A and B are shown apart, each in its own frame.
Chain A
Amino acid sequence: MDIRELVERIKKISKKEINIMEFCGTHTHEIFRYGIRQLLPENIHLLSGPGCPVCVTSEEDIDYIIELAQNYDLSIITFGDLVNVPGNNGSLNYLRAKGKEVIVVYSPLESINIAKQNPNKKYLLIGIGFETTAPNLAFTLIKAKEENIKNLYFLSLHKLTPPAMKAILDMGEIKIDGIIGPGHVSTIIGRKGWEGLFNEYKIPFVIMGFKPEEILYGIYHLVKIIEEEKPALINAYEKSVKEEGNKSALEYMYKVFKKGSASWRGLGIIEDSGLILNETFEEFDIRKIYPQKTKSIKLKNNYCRCGEVLRGVIKPTDCPLFGKSCTPESPKGPCMVSSEGTCSAYYLYGGE
């Protein structure tokens, strides 16, 4: 079906005033980039969810990283946008400008070479992301262990998506009629990965791809099951998502990690929603070496409403800082920092 036909079909069947939430930040961005909202009838409201790994990183975890970098002789190795997220004592980018070593890599495997080439230095690799990136980090740790690397430590900020979705549904702050399931995450966990959630809540759930026609195709199915009141868990991205997911990736992941509690911005601490290193990889675990002090400090940046944005409770434009003191050039919160963040999508593509 081409785009026009899909849009016509959606218009034809859509009657109810409905809210659908896209979990994934990449969906948020693609929906904006292609102006998909403009194509949909006005009674379909798209809400953005918590599917941006940098955005859901909690304030405490950011402060912990900054503290580790400042107080111990550790060079930080990490990815992309994390370096720009402001904590109470500046961002990693700021630390770098002040002379701390902060290395941004594209692939975690680079950290092994860096550690090998500089045996006198100590490195901290920060793993961040959902089920999509965790297998890669797991692979890196397996290699590091095989090669007996002693000057590389690891901090896992990895999180699992179904528990976050569940938390939002449990909070019940907003009416959600259907969920746009994340395409990339589902390639790893499979359609099956969502079954627990679906069976518990019986909420219409459609896994979809990222091309505009794939998104519209998915939305069509979602609207259909909502209108017909026949909730289902549908895989509308069959070309990439298998029923069982990617077994070998999952195997790697659970060779290295086990489920543990994780702290989410906006959602708080959720049991079994994160990945922590299991006993075999303890020697790499920075949390064991310099444990995180639990402290509840008053945040200087408490005007940022990212937490509510992540839960779909407010739109970025409802945040008083949006577009004023908070812009991608000088972000006040992670939702504006990350290229997957909802605030940045609204800002860059002119969200209403």
Chain B
Amino acid sequence: MEDIILLSHGNGGEATRKLIEEEILKYLGNEILEELLDSALIDIKGKIAFTTDSFVVSPIFFKGGDIGKLSIYGTINDLSVMGAKPLYVSVGFILEEGLSLKEFRKILESMRSAVEECGVKVVTGDTKVVEKGKGDKIYINTTGIGIIEDGISWHGRRIEEGDIIIINGEVGEHGLSIMLERLGIKTEEIESDLAPLHNLTLPLLKISNGIKFMRDPTRGGVASVLNEIAQKYNVEIEIDEDKIPVKPWVKNASEILGIDPLYSANEGKIVIVADKKEEKKIMEFLRNHPLGQKAQIIGEIKGKGKRVYLKTKMGTKRILDPLKKDLLPRIC
């Protein structure tokens, strides 16, 4: 008989204790978590960044990662783009009755390796079990705390006309790979771009003080982040379709599914706004970094406004609207 998650694993009694001590702690344990106090006690000095995110991806395993890895990297990336060095995370699991323990262990193992890679500790957590049919195998919430070193934060720098917009690599991979996975389409090259970004953003902020904005374009893709910038800072943005790096499989899939890669989610990308004067330094750094080899300057800030424009390959111009609805494939 296969070991599965039962409602009793969430009842707070012996089964819960066993699940936590024999499974979760085995993978994610450390001196702080193992104390199993009601709150983690930690010492941090300086300015902290604090973020939370919930993960509900389906399928829970996909090419290039799984929900566990995603839940760690996702939170690490939210800290990283703010210039914070990630230190501690919390993990909340909502498990659906019937989830196979084997799958749960696989997810825990993947979280363990992600946590180790990012040099962070899981210091507190929670596990609940919901009845079969009331969840979709597993949901994970993570919260992260990071510390921002003096002088490296971009927050508060002014975005101005002439600033450049950079992306660190090809766009749209995570979203489209998940969609193809759901369709049961698999090939060698189809893969999520899931990656932790702290090793890129922190050194970059140290070598250049010309970074004025960074955000990871997850849900809603690059188009949505650009629109957020335009609206938040009252600037007009123009990007150049020709400059946007897109892998061939993404391009093909996007044409078949009718989904523009600019609206498809990424999990290892950053949209950067930077001072043009720093262009050379930043691009050189990015292109020498494993996560930035395909970096491109995709556009620039055009002055006051609130719209994003796209210059097409044909030299025409159109509005690039924020994502307004669910991405659904065309039926014709």
A81 and B328 contact, CB distance less than 8 A: yes
Asked if A54 CB lies within 8 Å of chain B CBs, one says yes
A81: chain B residues at CB < 8 Å are 328, 331
| Contact pattern, B 309-322, Cβ under 8 Å of A = 1, otherwise 0 | 00011101111010
Q: B102 on the interface (CB 8 Å rule)?
A: no
CB distance from B161 to the nearest CB of A (A): 22
Stretch at the interface among A60-68, A127-135, A226-234, A257-265: A127-135
**A34 B324 Cβ-Cβ under 8 A:** no
A348 in complex: contacting residue of B317, B319, B329, B331, CB < 8 Å:
B319
The reply to whether A24 and B332 form a contact with Cβ atoms under 8 Å apart is: yes
Q: Is the CB of A54 within 8 A of B331?
A: yes
A212–B316 Cα distance when bound, in Å, is: 11
- A1-55: which have CB < 8 Å to B? 3, 24-26, 32-36, 38-39, 51-54
| Cβ A339 vs Cβ B330 within 8 A | yes
Is A25 within 8 A of B332, CB to CB?
yes
In the assembled complex, the CB of A229 is this many whole angstroms from the nearest CB of chain B, namely 30
Collect the chain B residues with CB atoms within 8 Å of residue A340's CB. Answer: 330, 332
Q: Say yes or no: A327 contacts B324, CB within 8 Å.
A: yes
Tell me which of B182, B314, B328 contacts A212 (CB under 8 A).
B314
Residues of A within 8 A of B319 (CB): 348-350
Main secondary structure of the interface of B (DSSP, over half): loop
A72 CB–B CB distance under 8 Å? no
Chain B residues numbered 164-188 whose CB sits less than 8 Å from any CB in chain A: 182-183
B332 close to A32 (CB less than 8 A) = no
Residue of B nearest to A213 (CB): B314
A311 to chain B, nearest CB (A): 19
Q: With an 8 A cutoff between CB atoms, is B258 at the interface? A: yes
What is the bound-complex CA distance between A133 and B330, given in angstroms? 11
> A271 vs B124: C-alpha distance in the bound complex, in angstroms?
67
Contacts of B324 on A, CB cut-off 8 Å? 327-329, 347-348
Q: Which residues of B contact A82 (CB under 8 A)?
A: 331
CB of B325 within 8 Å of the partner chain: yes
Contacting pair A34 B316 (CB below 8 A): yes
Q: State whether the Cβ of A107 lies closer than 8 Å to any Cβ in chain B.
A: yes
Assembly CA distance A32 to B312 (angstroms): 11
Q: Which of A270-284 contact B (CB under 8 A)?
A: none
Residue of B nearest to A328 (CB): B324
A residues apposed to B, CB below 8 Å = 3, 24-26, 32-36, 38-39, 51-54, 79-82, 84, 104, 106-107, 128-130, 132-133, 184, 212, 327-329, 339-340, 347-350
Other A-B pairs, 17, CB within 8 Å; known A340-B332, A349-B319: A24-B332, A25-B332, A26-B332, A32-B318, A35-B312, A38-B317, A39-B314, A51-B332, A79-B331, A80-B331, A81-B331, A128-B331, A328-B324, A328-B325, A348-B324, A350-B318, A350-B319
Residues of B within 8 A of A (CB): 182-183, 258, 312-314, 316-319, 321, 324-326, 328-332
6 contacts between A and B (CB under 8 A): A35-B312, A36-B316, A84-B325, A107-B183, A129-B332, A349-B319
Name the 9 nearest CB pairs between A and B, nearest first: A35-B316, A350-B319, A328-B324, A80-B328, A38-B316, A79-B331, A349-B318, A348-B321, A328-B325
